[in-house]
Amino acid sequence: MKTLFAILMTTVVVSMNGQTKSNKDIITEVNRELGGDSWSIKGDNIYVDNGILALGRGFWGLSKVTYELKYEFFSVTGEGHNTYVLYVKCKDGSDCIGDPLNDDGVGYKYLVLPIHDEEKRANRVFNLITSIK
């Protein structure tokens, strides 16, 4: 009986503490939550391509940025609505965010990405992105 109890407790502890998600698994969850496949990760860089030119497309190094989520009016073409927006900002004020379709080497200090209209979903995406290490 003691052996059975020890095996059971070991299984519970391993399943609670030993199961960590990889960065690729986290990005897969972000894409699932957003209903697309615009986020990817390659090495230490995260790539996003929402197809909205520099406003929704870019890449950055994991250790070079901070994230902030805000609920605000968002517009690309002049018509917009309130939504949750992710701000990706370079930590040191440099131009650390690149555009994979821009060959002239010009970077950005920040990137603004609309996430979702629903608070719960936007917070889940934010928490997933900030958990990437």
pLDDT per residue as tens digits for the range 64-77: 999 999 999 988 77
Is the pLDDT score of 116 beyond 50? yes
φ/ψ region of 121 (left if φ > 0, alpha if ψ in -120 to 50, else beta) reads: alpha
What residues make up the domain containing 30?
Answer: 21-130
Work out the pLDDT band at 7, boundaries 50, 70, 90: low
Is the pLDDT score of 15 beyond 80? no
* pTM, rounded to two decimals: 0.79
As for how many domains the chain has, the answer is: 1
Tell whether 107 is covered by a domain: yes
Q: What is the pLDDT of residue 77?
A: 76
Work out the pLDDT band at 4, boundaries 50, 70, 90: very low
Tell whether 8 is covered by a domain: no
Tell whether 124 is covered by a domain: yes
Q: Where are the beta strands (DSSP E) in 9-129?
A: 39-42, 45-49, 57-61, 65-75, 80-90, 110-116
What is the average pLDDT value for the chain, to the nearest integer?
A: 85
Tell whether 81 is covered by a domain: yes
Q: Is 2 helix (H, G, I), strand (E, B) or coil?
A: helix
Is the pLDDT score of 48 beyond 90? yes
15-49 exposure pattern, b = at least 16 Cβ within 10 A, e = fewer: eeeeeeeeeeebbbbbeebbeeebbbbeeeebbbb
Tell whether 10 is covered by a domain: no
- Which of 101 and 94 is assigned the larger pLDDT? 94
Is the pLDDT score of 3 beyond 60? no
